[in-house]
Amino acid sequence: MSASMTAQRPDPDAAAPLPHDASASRRSYDVDALAEEIVEKLTYSIGKSPARARKYDWLRAVTLTVRDRIIDHWLEAEDARAASGGKQVAYLSMEFLIGRLLRDAINNLNLTTQVAEALKRYNVDLDMIELLEPDAALGNGGLGRLAACFMESMASVGVPGFGYGIRYVHGFFRQEIADGAQVELPENWLLHGNPWEFERRERSYEIGFGGKVTSVVGEPGKPPRQLWRPAERVLAVAYDTPIVGWRGAHVNTLRLWSAQALDPILLDAFNSGDHIGALVESNKAEAITRVLYPADSHQAGQELRLRQEFFFSSASLQDIIRRHLETNESLSNLHDKVSIQLNDTHPAVSVAELMRLLVDVHGMEWDEAWEITRQTFSYTNHTLLPEALEHWPIHLFERLLPRQMQIIYAINAAVIRQAMESKGFDGGRIAAISLIDENNGRRVRMGQLAFVGSHAVNGVSALHTDLMKETVFHALHELYPDRIQNKTNGVTPRRWLMEANPGLTSLLKETIGEGFLDDISKIRDVERFATDAGFRDRFAAVKRENKARLADVISERLAISVDPDALFDIQVKRIHEYKRQFLNIIEAVALYDQIRSQPATNWTPRVKVFAGKAAPSYLQAKEIIHLANDVARVINSDPAVRDLLKVVFIPNYNVSLAEIIMPAADISEQISTAGLEASGTGNMKFALNGALTIGTLDGANVEMRDHIGEENIFIFGLTASEVAQRRREGHSGRSVIEGLPLLRDALHAISSGVFSPDEPNRYNGLVGNLYNNDWWMIAADFQSYWDTQRRADALWADPAEWNRKAILNTARMSWFSSDRSIREYAADIWRTGTDA
């Protein structure tokens, strides 16, 4: 009977931790001390003299030096947390799209100038060193990046907590473009090791898979106990990364699990010469945390994905219980001490696993366990796309997680009984709330499990939350009318303004003082400078500098030269049909047509920038990438265009590239089919950095319009209810297309091979789809989109007015800080205090 199957007991001989007197050992922040320590690290941690040190050695030495200062705060925070006995948050997410950490850590410790100076003494350039750090790309897109912003904001506003996830050896694949098409290559962020993490071997747990459940007769009058005997066991080992908040106020922990075999090598197999066999078990175990699944809208549905989900969920719950029992008598107050946030359905199996741990392992009564479970969990939904809602085949679930499947059946029976008795639910509504989807081969619906197992369920924008109540969770909303609430997303102003746009940050500091650094709502003070010509010019100069920096990156990576004085029109995000990169490309083709056919017109010079990855198995998305590159090749080399239009697809979009792109946009493309983008967060980053948004009334665009003012944002297209209605009525693009020559001709150019002379029919499917069933309303929204782009052209001709609106965007985006989101979660869902 291994550890994870029985209650964890606090380790008696662990000496009570001595209070950490940070002030005693706190490292100093002055340049001399930093310079000395960097060489100290180089010498004694890396074994190199400054003369022999290579660039990666300097990166490691600086990182270790900065890390020491974080550790001071970390240990202090650890003691404060333990002493306060307060409530903590556990944020469970399969993804944390962190990016680089050095600049963020240095900025949050206000060490930027000192570290730069210290390094200069050895002729080492901090900016160059920072570029060497690999992105921790442990996520796909919006959901993963939101988790990273939330971790930084929790540490900045003082919400004590842990992030729990998986330490993938290979994060999000590296994208290369070969002959216009996406090619996926393994990502290898651990190549030079990861100086930010600490292996915590003492924090490791056994995770079971498969096997059988036997019921053991319990005490008289008590139901028999269920005993799960897994057929397989792997070890989950913790790796901790400190997440430091603004001004080092707080440091939280990101605990990522790595899978290891209990027996690294089967010696008897090895000794009998079966060298491969000897390693099968450890290879199988380590495979669990080897690679991130690159799908972000289609459920891969593979067994390994379910193993990953259960592996990190069970390890996290066992760790939460162990930490709880270190300072609490029993688990009966677990929900008073920890709030567990489920980042989408990916960790939803946790609901069943916590029930197993409370009932089977810690001997709690079912009803008490269920109440504690529900009070402890809360669930965030990030998508309404049917194909992205997770539902696991029961045959797979039962084989891999037999006890958890039993518990899910029991939960389902109780919920259905309650629905029938308390709400008179029957037939259709029972089917709608059931955790079991009886159709298409009987599946477990993870959204329903997360919903019934939580005390709070939230969407990520006001529109999305309303649509959750009206569509996917309609019946459950009827059964539990006060469970769904809204928590509109946000982004951290440290990484996405201060660190990504130091030019704008120092202009703001000079103009409105530094108050906004501690309280972003003070950025509103810049509003009164929107009509100040001097300030407008300086604002525009900062934007131009950022555009020139992006132009350098484009020329370096693609050998394409773009004019920083042109209008930079940017769409960067995962490639997906509902995000409608195709609509943007069609507009580019139509504009190209017009520029060629009306050379006399005073066209606004534009640079259309695209970037984003497609899930490897998502062929339509990969075609869209191919089309973008094909269109770019033709337009950029056509002299008739006279540089009035350039199209660029920048490969390998990731957090670090986003930090260069977001400050360099004039127009931010947020053009999803209304009702389908849950929130968006790129939209917020662009607007905060002074870009004007062209977008549909979708996701958080709606609330951005409310905060920024509708005269300062370009809204176009069908609304979510109009889209739903058109879809209900059945809508083909044919009639619309034939009525719009601009659209018809652009589509004809694409489908007839103008941009793919080597394969003229390459885009027949893509265009044909539009004619037959304009599912994403591209044809339906084209004219409105075109007209709105032309309105933007007209405004661009009036720089003073453009910059006035751009300044108002920056001034009015403070509400979209992830600090505000986190404060709302803390107050309304987690019921934990915040400091600031």
User: Nearest CA to 769 among 741, 734, 718, 724?
Assistant: 734
In the set 142, 180, 248, 503, which binds ligand 26W (CB under 6 A)? Answer: 142
Smallest separation, CB 482 to ligand 26W (Å): 22
Smallest separation, CB 443 to ligand 26W (Å): 13
Q: What is the C-alpha separation between 415 and 423, in angstroms, rounded?
A: 11
- 610 backbone dihedrals φ, ψ, rounded to 5°: -120, 150
Total residues in contact with ligand 26W, by rule CB under 6 A: 22
460 binds ligand 26W (CB under 6 A): yes
678 binds ligand 26W (CB under 6 A): yes
Position of minimal CB gap to ligand 26W: 142
296 binds ligand 26W (CB under 6 A): yes
From residue 479 to residue 498, what is the string marking binding to ligand 26W with x (rule CB under 6 A)?
----------x---------
What Rg value do the Cα atoms of the chain yield, rounded? Answer: 28
How many residues make up the chain in this entry? 836
Tell me which stretch binds ligand 26W (CB under 6 A): 77-85, 116-124, 290-298, 478-486.
Answer: 290-298
376 touches 358 (CB < 8 A): no
In the set 92, 146, 400, 550, which binds ligand 26W (CB under 6 A)? Answer: 146
503 versus 675: smaller Cβ distance to ligand 26W:
675
203 versus 464: smaller Cβ distance to ligand 26W:
464
In the set 134, 453, 493, 680, which binds ligand 26W (CB under 6 A)? Answer: 680
In angstroms, how far is CA 93 from the centroid of its own chain?
9
581 binds ligand 26W (CB under 6 A): no
User: Nearest CA to 335 among 831, 836, 833?
Assistant: 831
488 versus 594: smaller Cβ distance to ligand 26W:
488
Smallest separation, CB 31 to ligand 26W (Å): 40
Smallest separation, CB 683 to ligand 26W (Å): 9
Q: What is the C-alpha separation between 634 and 626, in angstroms, rounded?
A: 13
Q: Could you confirm whether 579 is annotated as catalytic? A: yes
Smallest separation, CB 409 to ligand 26W (Å): 23
| CA dihedral for 507, 511, 513, 516, sign (positive or negative) | negative
3-state secondary structure of 462: helix
Site for ligand 26W in 734-763 (CB under 6 A): none
Catalytic residue among 73, 579, 580, 823: 579
382 binds ligand 26W (CB under 6 A): yes
289 versus 297: smaller Cβ distance to ligand 26W:
297
170 touches 186 (CB < 8 A): yes
Q: What is the C-alpha separation between 393 and 436, in angstroms, rounded?
A: 10
Residues whose CB falls within 8 Å of the CB of residue 569, separated by 6 or more in sequence, listed in order: 606, 607, 608, 609, 665, 666, 667, 669
In the set 699, 740, 780, 786, which binds ligand 26W (CB under 6 A)? Answer: 699
698 binds ligand 26W (CB under 6 A): no
User: Nearest CA to 486 among 469, 507, 498, 504?
Assistant: 469
Smallest separation, CB 261 to ligand 26W (Å): 27
Tell me which stretch binds ligand 26W (CB under 6 A): 241-249, 295-303, 557-565, 718-726.
Answer: 295-303
713 touches 810 (CB < 8 A): no
- Strand pairing of 606-611 and 567-572? parallel
Smallest separation, CB 187 to ligand 26W (Å): 17
User: Nearest CA to 251 among 17, 78, 62?
Assistant: 78
Q: What is the C-alpha separation between 292 and 290, in angstroms, rounded?
A: 7
CA distances for 677 relative to 142, 429, 513, 577, 824, angstroms: 10, 27, 36, 11, 21
Smallest separation, CB 485 to ligand 26W (Å): 15
3-state secondary structure of 138: strand
Tell me which stretch binds ligand 26W (CB under 6 A): 310-318, 618-626, 638-646, 672-680.
Answer: 672-680
Q: What is the C-alpha separation between 343 and 94, in angstroms, rounded?
A: 8
Q: Could you confirm whether 73 is annotated as catalytic? A: no
In the set 412, 454, 604, 681, which binds ligand 26W (CB under 6 A)? Answer: 681
In a 10 Å sphere around its CB, with 0-12 CB exposed, 13-18 middle and 19+ buried, how is residue 835 labelled?
exposed
Catalytic residue among 445, 685, 805, 812: 685
Tell me which stretch binds ligand 26W (CB under 6 A): 175-183, 677-685, 794-802, 823-831.
Answer: 677-685
Smallest separation, CB 20 to ligand 26W (Å): 36
Tell me which stretch binds ligand 26W (CB under 6 A): 136-144, 208-216, 480-488, 628-636.
Answer: 136-144
Q: Which residues pair with 542 in a beta bridge?
A: none
Tell me which stretch binds ligand 26W (CB under 6 A): 81-89, 126-134, 209-217, 675-683.
Answer: 675-683
390 versus 577: smaller Cβ distance to ligand 26W:
390
In the set 65, 252, 383, 814, which binds ligand 26W (CB under 6 A)? Answer: 383
170 touches 184 (CB < 8 A): no
444 binds ligand 26W (CB under 6 A): no
826 binds ligand 26W (CB under 6 A): no
675 binds ligand 26W (CB under 6 A): no
Residues whose CB falls within 8 Å of the CB of residue 234, separated by 6 or more in sequence, listed in order: 206, 207, 209, 259, 260, 261, 262, 285, 288, 311
297 binds ligand 26W (CB under 6 A): yes
390 binds ligand 26W (CB under 6 A): yes
Residues whose CB falls within 8 Å of the CB of residue 266, separated by 6 or more in sequence, listed in order: 277, 278, 279, 280, 281
Smallest separation, CB 617 to ligand 26W (Å): 11
Smallest separation, CB 356 to ligand 26W (Å): 23
Smallest separation, CB 377 to ligand 26W (Å): 18
590 touches 743 (CB < 8 A): yes
Smallest separation, CB 344 to ligand 26W (Å): 5
607 versus 671: smaller Cβ distance to ligand 26W:
671
In the set 194, 299, 809, 832, which binds ligand 26W (CB under 6 A)? Answer: 299
165 binds ligand 26W (CB under 6 A): no
382 versus 443: smaller Cβ distance to ligand 26W:
382
Sheet containing 251-261: give its strands across.
198-209, 232-244, 251-261, 161-166, 88-92, 338-343, 377-380, 456-459, 484-486
679 binds ligand 26W (CB under 6 A): yes
810 touches 526 (CB < 8 A): yes
Q: Could you confirm whether 509 is annotated as catalytic? A: no
678 versus 749: smaller Cβ distance to ligand 26W:
678
63 versus 140: smaller Cβ distance to ligand 26W:
140
DSSP string, 70-122: HHHHHHHHHHHHHHHT--EEEEE-S-EEEE--HHHHHHHTT-HHHHHHHHHTT
394 touches 442 (CB < 8 A): yes
Q: Could you confirm whether 681 is annotated as catalytic? A: yes
90 touches 339 (CB < 8 A): yes
State the DSSP code for 246.
G
Cβ neighbours of 702 (radius 10 Å): 21
677 versus 703: smaller Cβ distance to ligand 26W:
677
Catalytic residue among 362, 382, 731, 820: 382
Pair of tokens at residue 10: 């606090």
659 versus 677: smaller Cβ distance to ligand 26W:
677
Catalytic residues: 382, 573-574, 579, 681, 685
* Residues making contact with ligand 26W (CB under 6 A): 140-143, 146, 295-297, 299, 344, 382-383, 388, 390, 460, 489, 677-681, 699
